[in-house]
Amino acid sequence: MLATPKKYTLMAGSAEGPTRLNAFDNALLAAGIGNVNLLRVSSILPPNATEVARLDVQPGALVPTAYGTITSDAPGELIAAAVAVGVGATDDYGVIMEFSGRCGRQEAEERVAEMARAAFRQRGRELERVLVRGVEHRVGETGCAFAAVALWY
């Protein structure tokens, strides 16, 4: 079992690339998480985790990450990705929600924030605040929008 992360960072970025994979990689770089290995995780923020503005890990590190991403090769298409962190009482766990779609940043952020509120309602817990980060991208040739919550130590 891996150790429980103590820090988290919300990030988002978008970019173009010559291929779908390059667009994704470039969006990771734009978000500030391009030189690590993402371990995709589901939607729980560990208890007592502290928000940190910038990811500070070594290149190649294994980083548990909840993320939403969308890649498109339809020129002119508007795509967006967003993440939300629902934070409850101190010393208790939170929730992380991800969204991506063919829409603008505002819609993506609104949808993911509502998902965090719904997750707290489903758990019968009181929500203190919702943190949201999103990005939109107008596709040139091949583009990607990426938003994530990185969990780290």
Active site residues: 37, 42-43, 98
Is the Cβ–Cβ distance between 83 and 130 less than 8 Å?
Answer: no
46, 51, 73, 152, 153 from 3: Cα distances, Å: 11, 18, 39, 10, 8
Is the Cβ–Cβ distance between 31 and 13 less than 8 Å?
Answer: yes
- Residue positions counted in the chain: 153
Is the Cβ–Cβ distance between 81 and 135 less than 8 Å?
Answer: yes
